[in-house]
Amino acid sequence: MRSLHFTAETSSNGVLERDFTMGEIPGVLWSPVSGSDHAPLVLMGHGGGLHKKTPGLMARAHELVITRGFTVVAIDAPGHGDRPRAAEDEQARADLREAMVAGDTERVASVSVRYGASLAERAVPEWQATLDALQQLPEIGAEAPIGYGGGITLGTAIGIPLTAIEPRITAAIFGGGFVVHEALIEAARRITVPVQFLLPWDDEHVDRQSALALFDAFASKEKTLHANPGDHRTIRWFGIDDEFLVRHLGRVATSPA
């Protein structure tokens, strides 16, 4: 089993941020400066073309650490962030750019689906190896409850197949805003843990019905769809159940900092 090497450490506002590498995968772990003994661990995915420290992702991670005492981890997806791009990554990005410039939405969709599926295939075992390594850390161990904390577009395209085969994940937040393909629906059918599904109601380039079909596919007895107006870039979320992860992963006893 590969282990995790911490490469940098900073802290601000009570949040300890530790960069790490796990083999060739760069990641970051956020936890309370005051310690986090077997606190729930939340896995965060980033969007397509983005990386593990995008502002939105960091803001949600900080909030989970500060207000809940949780530990949060993010890794760069293959070909994203600090990772080298393989020929396939370069080709897919070039194809996407070309299709977007040409306004060829059908081609954008088909490239996105193909590339997203390929990324997920590579990313799922990477997340599993990262989990193995994180569970070697004494403050996490095998005891920390684990949830998938969401992430739009690519974060969900990777999170769904991961949650479908990874029994350590006991609750998951997913989101719409991307092109749903049949393999994703198939994976959703194998998910039985509680799911929160966030749907931007007005995504110009995405078929709303396919996102609804994805929500429909989860086998989970407890699943909630929250839809708000806006597309996945402009959406302002309100009225979302902030207690979802706490309800399923548990509360951390607050200790003095």
Residues that bind a second copy (CB under 8 A): 196, 199, 201, 212, 215-216, 221-229, 238-241, 243-244
Q: Which residue is associated with the tokens 């029994």?
A: 167
Report the nearest approach of a second copy to the CB of residue 109 (Å). Answer: 22
Q: What is the residue type of 197?
A: F
Q: What gap in Å lies between CA 44 and CA 60, rounded to an integer?
A: 9
Q: What angle do CA 16, 159, 243 make, to 5 degrees?
A: 60
Report the nearest approach of a second copy to the CB of residue 76 (Å). Answer: 31
Q: Quick check: 23 and 129 in contact, CB under 8 A?
A: yes
Q: What gap in Å lies between CA 85 and CA 66, rounded to an integer?
A: 34
| Cα 69 → chain centroid | 19
Q: Which two tokens stand for residue 228?
A: 């708000």
Q: What is the largest CA-CA distance in the chain?
A: 57
Cβ-based nearer residue to a second copy, 127 or 244: 244
Cβ-based nearer residue to a second copy, 33 or 227: 227
Cβ-based nearer residue to a second copy, 49 or 230: 230
Q: Which two tokens stand for residue 206?
A: 């995405």
Cβ-based nearer residue to a second copy, 134 or 173: 173
Report the nearest approach of a second copy to the CB of residue 247 (Å). Answer: 8
Report the nearest approach of a second copy to the CB of residue 147 (Å). Answer: 14
Cβ-based nearer residue to a second copy, 118 or 224: 224
Q: What is the residue type of 55?
A: P
Report the nearest approach of a second copy to the CB of residue 100 (Å). Answer: 27
